[in-house]
Amino acid sequence: MNLSAMSAEETLAVVTRRQRQRQLPAQMAALLDEVANRAGAINTGDEAEDVIVERTR
């Protein structure tokens, strides 16, 4: 989804939906930590992908 190409109404709809999902910021932070390899346990892009797929399940 390209947010910069969205209309103001579409952007507002996405923001509204996001606000209903209170757990989303914490989940996104956890995914970003995995990608950034803060835990030090991920060595390759494939491993990062596997972790993210597992977390999103």
- 4-38 pLDDT, tens digit each: 788 989 989 988 988 888 888 888 888 888 777 76
What is the spatial distance between Cα 48 and Cα 56, in angstroms, rounded to a whole number? 12
pTM: 0.49
For residues 55 and 30, the answer to whether their CB atoms sit within 8 Å is yes
